[in-house]
Amino acid sequence: MAKKVVASLQSGQGNHYTKVIKMVKSPKTGAYIFKEMIVHNDHVEDFFKLKKEG
């Protein structure tokens, strides 16, 4: 899967996007899970301001 993501970002516009990873605690089990997304550089701060989702 990582190869597809990297290949799609190498089309010349990849430097405008960032892969962000956020650790959130699951309300059901109490274990930590990781939320990963590829977002535009303008929306990185918004990703980290979002409330945690279960």
* Model pLDDT, residue 36: 92
Terminal alpha carbon distance of the chain: 24
Cα–chain-centroid distance for residue 39? 7
Are 5 and 18 a contacting pair, CB within 8 Å? no
Percent of the chain predicted with pLDDT > 70: 67
In this predicted structure, which of 2-11, 20-29, 37-46 has the lowest mean pLDDT? 2-11
The ranges assigned to domains in the chain are 2-49
Q: How confident is the model at residue 17 (pLDDT cuts 50, 70, 90)?
A: confident
Q: Residue 11 pLDDT more than 80?
A: no
Which pLDDT belongs to residue 54? 45
